[in-house]
């Protein structure tokens, strides 16, 4: 396909595809799917070889969030029967992180529900970061605490945080459909604050919330504009007790197209396969490793994931290798990119934004996916419980 050859060439040069080209990836047929995966795989291997970075989530406090994000099991008014607990102590969080590190994770992601941290919360998390790094020298720590206030990113950086996560989730045009207690610009502002403080920015999306192909392209292009180092791609976990519990619109094939589109638009960043992969990709998970270079190990914040050992076996069986702590994830030209301008290290931008001269293909109307509610399992182990974690 001429389209795929063009996208590979642009990916190897770090050039931005046109929106029409990105939409065309999402509109490819199932007959073309393996060609799409192979093409995006060339870009992935060029920048990251066959390495897979492992990340591990620690939910520092669970539930009772005042925000109304429709997709979230911890949202205001959620009836999802998830674990609810207040802040873990630094030593408890360090123990939970240690399980993931022992399983091969080189980054620990510390997450807390809520609109954003108070200064006291930042102090709590700072002590937790110090406890983790005191026991595990060299491990990367990413904080995900919601909307940041002035000076908080700098304090987290001073405490030893390496990165900050705050996802855009969906396009600016449809953000108000999934959340009313804050807006798209609030999220962009927090990512910018993290970058300005010297933290590596991590920001991604959630697919499967009823968005159109145009929305998916818009949010990935917005991410490219912000230039984060890591782009996690989540697939909606339709928790019972949340407004999106009935949203089962994804198929394994569509998930792969979304990941391929993200790789073409963000060729040299850490594209991470995140929440919902087990539910929506199912037996096609190994194919996704040809598109992403990073996954979460084990369980998520409030749901159970694939067993950590199964993750490791999947990586090995697919012919990939776990990225070691001695290896730097990002290509050399991107190191330190968290404090760069929006296009530094990304190749030409303005020259690659013009129309491609072809009419975009119409967005396909997919048949509703079969609901697999049996695959949505609430987390009952690990942080906040007396049971050992899955790592």
Residue 308, φ and ψ in degrees, nearest 5: -55, -40
All residues at 6 or more sequence positions from 48 whose CB lies less than 8 Å from its CB, including other chains: 270, 293, 329, 331
Q: What is the mean pLDDT of residues 292-305?
A: 94
Exactly one of 19, 75, 107, 109 is catalytic; which is it? 109
* C-beta pairs of 90-96 under 8 Å, 24+ apart in sequence: 90/124, 90/127, 90/128, 90/130, 90/131, 91/131, 92/383, 93/58, 93/60, 93/128, 93/131, 93/132, 93/383, 94/128, 94/131, 94/132, 94/134, 94/135, 96/58, 96/382, 96/383, 96/389
Q: Residue 85 pairs with which residues in a beta bridge?
A: 62
Q: Is the pLDDT of residue 125 over 90?
A: yes
Exactly one of 72, 144, 255, 266 is catalytic; which is it? 72
Exactly one of 75, 142, 257, 334 is catalytic; which is it? 142
Residue 60, φ and ψ in degrees, nearest 5: -70, -35
Give Cα 311 to chain centroid, integer Å.
17
Chain segment 53-86, per-residue pLDDT in tens = 999 999 999 988 999 999 999 998 888 888 899 9
Q: Is the pLDDT of residue 101 over 70?
A: yes
Hey, what are 191's tokens?
């990512």
* The dihedral formed by the CA atoms of 97, 274, 379 and 106, expressed in degrees to the nearest 10: -10
Say how far apart CA 14 and CA 348 lie, in whole Å. 8
Exactly one of 44, 65, 179, 266 is catalytic; which is it? 65
- Domain map of the chain by residue range? 2-325
Share of the chain above pLDDT 90, in %: 81
65 carries an active-site annotation: yes
Hey, what are 322's tokens?
């776990």
The pLDDT assigned to 351 comes to 29
188, 167 Cβ separation under 8 angstroms:
no
Q: Residue 164 pairs with which residues in a beta bridge?
A: 143, 201
- Give the length of the chain: 391
| pLDDT grade for 385, boundaries at 50, 70 and 90 | confident
Say how far apart CA 382 and CA 391 lie, in whole Å. 9
All residues at 6 or more sequence positions from 310 whose CB lies less than 8 Å from its CB, including other chains: none
Say how far apart CA 176 and CA 183 lie, in whole Å. 7
69 carries an active-site annotation: yes
Q: Is the pLDDT of residue 330 over 80?
A: yes
First to last CA, the chain: 41
Say how far apart CA 96 and CA 320 lie, in whole Å. 26
Chain segment 220-229, per-residue pLDDT in tens = 999 999 999 9
Hey, what are 391's tokens?
């790592």
27, 213 Cβ separation under 8 angstroms:
yes
Say how far apart CA 170 and CA 181 lie, in whole Å. 15
The pLDDT assigned to 387 comes to 87
The pLDDT assigned to 35 comes to 98
Q: Is the pLDDT of residue 235 over 70?
A: yes
Q: What share of the chain is helix, strand, coil (3-state, %, to 5)?
A: 40, 15, 45
Exactly one of 14, 144, 187, 202 is catalytic; which is it? 202
Q: Is the pLDDT of residue 350 over 60?
A: no
Residue 7, φ and ψ in degrees, nearest 5: -70, -40
The pLDDT assigned to 166 comes to 98
Chain segment 249-295, per-residue pLDDT in tens = 999 999 999 999 999 999 999 999 999 999 999 999 999 999 999 99
The pLDDT assigned to 343 comes to 33
Q: Is the pLDDT of residue 358 over 70?
A: no
346 carries an active-site annotation: no
Q: Within 10 Å of residue 362's Cβ, how many Cβ atoms? A: 9
353 carries an active-site annotation: no
72 carries an active-site annotation: yes
Q: Is the pLDDT of residue 210 over 90?
A: yes
The pLDDT assigned to 142 comes to 98
Return the axis-axis angle of helices 252-265 and 2-13, rounded to nearest 10°: 50
Please state, rounded to an integer, the average pLDDT across all residues of the chain: 90
Exactly one of 19, 69, 75, 263 is catalytic; which is it? 69
Exactly one of 272, 277, 334, 379 is catalytic; which is it? 272
The pLDDT assigned to 359 comes to 38
144 carries an active-site annotation: no
284: nearest Cα among 54, 115, 7, 33: 33
**CATH T-level topology, domain 2-325:** TIM Barrel (3.20.20)
Task: List the alpha helices (DSSP H) in the chain.
Answer: 2-13, 19-26, 33-48, 90-102, 119-135, 152-159, 175-178, 184-196, 213-226, 252-265, 277-280, 285-288, 308-317
Q: What angle do CA 292, 185, 110 make, to 5 degrees?
A: 50
Q: Is the pLDDT of residue 340 over 50?
A: no
């Amino acid at each position: 396909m001429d389209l795929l050859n063009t996208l590979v060439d642009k990916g190897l040069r770090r050039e931005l595809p046109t929106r029409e080209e990105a939409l065309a990836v999402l509109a490819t047929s199932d007959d073309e799917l393996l060609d799409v995966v192979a093409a995006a795989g060339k870009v992935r291997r060029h920048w990251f070889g066959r390495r897979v970075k492992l990340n591990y989530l620690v939910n520092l406090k669970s539930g009772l969030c005042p925000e109304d994000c429709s997709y979230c099991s911890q949202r205001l008014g959620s009836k999802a029967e998830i674990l609810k607990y207040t802040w873990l102590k630094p030593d408890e969080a360090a123990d939970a992180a240690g399980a993931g590190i022992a399983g091969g994770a080189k980054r620990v992601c510390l997450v807390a529900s809520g609109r954003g941290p108070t200064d006291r919360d930042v102090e709590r998390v700072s002590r937790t970061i110090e406890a983790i790094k005191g026991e595990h020298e060299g491990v990367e720590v990413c904080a995900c605490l919601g909307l940041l206030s002035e000076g908080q990113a700098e304090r987290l950086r001073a405490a030893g945080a390496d990165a900050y996560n705050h996802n855009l989730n969906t396009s600016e045009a449809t953000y108000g459909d999934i959340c009313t207690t804050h807006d798209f610009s609030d999220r962009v502002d927090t990512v910018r604050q993290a970058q300005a403080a010297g933290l590596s920015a991590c920001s991604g999306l959630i697919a499967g919330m009823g968005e159109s192909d145009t929305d998916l392209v818009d949010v990935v292009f917005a991410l490219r504009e912000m230039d984060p180092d890591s782009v996690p791609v989540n697939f909606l976990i339709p928790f019972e007790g949340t407004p999106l519990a009935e949203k089962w619109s994804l198929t394994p094939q569509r998930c792969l197209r979304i990941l391929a589109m993200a790789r073409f638009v963000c060729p040299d960043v850490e594209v991470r396969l995140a929440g919902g992969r087990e539910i929506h990709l199912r037996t096609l998970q190994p194919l996704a490793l040809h598109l992403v270079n990073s996954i979460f190990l084990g369980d998520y914040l409030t749901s159970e994931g694939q067993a950590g050992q199964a993750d490791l076996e999947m990586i090995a069986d697919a012919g990939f290798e776990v990225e070691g702590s001695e290896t730097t994830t990002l290509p050399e030209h991107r190191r330190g990119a968290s404090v760069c301008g929006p296009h530094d290290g990304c190749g030409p931008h303005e020259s690659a934004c013009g129309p491609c001269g072809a009419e975009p293909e119409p967005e396909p109307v997919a048949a509703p996916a079969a609901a697999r509610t049996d695959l949505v399992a609430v987390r009952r182990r690990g942080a906040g419980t007396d049971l050992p974690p899955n790592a």
